[in-house]
Structure 1
Amino acid sequence: MSNSNSQNHASAQSNKLEIAIGREIRAFRKKMDLTISELAKLAGLSAGMLSKIENGNASPSLATLQSLSGALNIPVTAFFRKYEEDRDASFVRAGEGLIIERRGTRAGHQYQLLGHSVGKSISVEPYMITLTEESEVFPLFQHPGMEFLYMLEGKMVYMHGDKSYSLSPGDSLFFDADAPHGPEELRELPIRFLSVIVSPRFSD
């Protein structure tokens, strides 16, 4: 019985989040003077799906939220802003982070978003990144702000700008994320590391 109540509570919380995200998307869309059809086209969605998302009747995937954030030129975390306003902390149990599909990701590369900042001036995005398959070509990332990596498991060579760093468990790397960066060589799988991205939040 308690399990059922727990599931109902989780469902209610999920719906509350969907409604909050939908309201934020609608607010940003209206701020840019876009119709549902116009924004849907920019984000590669159907107008019907976007309407459901805005009304809190559909749960958007993180990939969909990334498409919408790109179309609206805002960070993904902006969609969670109102939902987080009355919350002091983001608590994520082991293995329950939101799975994100980042551009250039492939099988064996998993990004889990572990929370999002509530602050007004900066955006903080902590990710748990797991690499389980060998690959010869890696995507290079480049974005505003700073990034902090902390190795938990495995070994890899990580590139930042024109330098390469050999990382083992316990090693960390803090760098300017404006320069191209990403894994260069996977030396010991599986690889697991924490990545925290800090960047200026777009002003309203």
Structure 2
Amino acid sequence: MSGRSSAGRAGAAPGPEALGEPPVAIADDGDQRLGETIRLMRQRAGLSIQEVAKRTGLSSGMISQVERALATPSVRTLRLLSIALGVPISYFFEEHEPVSPARYIVRKNDRRLLRLTASGVVKEALTPAEKGEIEFYELTLNPGGSSGSDFVRHTGEKAGYVLAGKLRLWLDHEAHVLEPGDSFRFPSTVPHMFDNPTQQVARVIWVTTLGPR
């Protein structure tokens, strides 16, 4: 970590909640599209809601609410669902027709978006829609925005670079406050979560390697 970062126990870690954390009820067109996408992927995988709940540790009720657009999931919840369903998290992003189609290139105006209003997070996909081994985003965190209320871990690696504002990255229950110009990389098997503890918007380049499934 950079010498400018405040690494260590920057206050107590957010209180862990049950894995079936209650989602925030916010219904809009984006939630409807996201819920339908998750339901379709689950059905294609031949899984029941109960089976997905067992794989993720989330409650069946929560998964059902997300699929019916009665709640907006956190980043953490989407990551758990993507692992359970065997797809990149980018599959949940909004789809639209690019202005100038290109298999390997993503133009700024063609970025796919994932808006998680309840979590205060917007993710912009910087990689093409085709499935690959790397997921690459620009992450915008509003004041108080976070990945969710509990830690997550999975296979692969994560790395990133802070463009603006401050990112508080929790690794194995230890807090590291990163500022513009700071960067990071860690195995995704390390319990992790992140949030923006300030009153300014934070922007981060975020990279995830998926690892074996």
Q: 2:200 aligns with which of 181, 189, 201?
A: 189
Report the counterpart of residue 151 of structure 1 in structure 2: 162
Report the counterpart of residue 115 of structure 1 in structure 2: 127
The number of residues matched between the two structures is 150
Larger radius of gyration: 1
Contact between 1:98 and 1:114, CA under 8 Å: does it hold in 2?
no
Matches within 5 A, 1:19-98: 32=46, 44=64, 73-76=85-88, 88-94=103-109, 96-98=111-113
Report the counterpart of residue 174 of structure 1 in structure 2: 185
Deviation at 1:75, TM superposition (A): 1.3
| Structure with more of its chain in strand, by fraction | 1
Unpaired runs of 5+ residues, structure 1, are 1-21, 47-61, 81-85
| Structure with more of its chain in helix, by fraction | 1
Q: Which amino acid aligns with 1:183?
A: F
Contact between 1:107 and 1:133, CA under 8 Å: does it hold in 2?
no
Residues 1-30 of structure 1, C-alpha deviation per residue, up to 9 Å, x if partnerless? xxxxxxxxxxxxxxxxxxxxx9xx79x967
Contact between 1:92 and 1:115, CA under 8 Å: does it hold in 2?
no
Q: Structure 1 residues 160, 119: closer, same or farther in 2, change over 3 A?
A: same
Q: Structure 1 residues 116, 182: closer, same or farther in 2, change over 3 A?
A: farther
Unpaired runs of 5+ residues, structure 2, are 1-36, 53-59, 93-100
TM-score normalized by the length of structure 2 = 0.50
Identity of paired residues, percent? 18
Q: Structure 1 residues 201, 95: closer, same or farther in 2, change over 3 A?
A: same
Q: 1:127 aligns with which of 117, 123, 137?
A: 137
TM-score normalized by the length of structure 1 = 0.52
Q: Structure 1 residues 145, 168: closer, same or farther in 2, change over 3 A?
A: same
Q: Which has the higher contact order (CA 8 A, sep 6+)?
A: 2
Residues 134-185 of structure 1, C-alpha deviation per residue, up to 9 Å, x if partnerless? 3699533333210011100012332111432221111101011122212255
Report the counterpart of residue 32 of structure 2 in structure 1: none
Contact between 2:144 and 2:195, CA under 8 Å: does it hold in 1?
no
Deviation at 1:127, TM superposition (A): 1.8
Q: Structure 1 residues 106, 191: closer, same or farther in 2, change over 3 A?
A: same
Q: Which amino acid aligns with 1:115?
A: T
Contact between 2:88 and 2:135, CA under 8 Å: does it hold in 1?
no
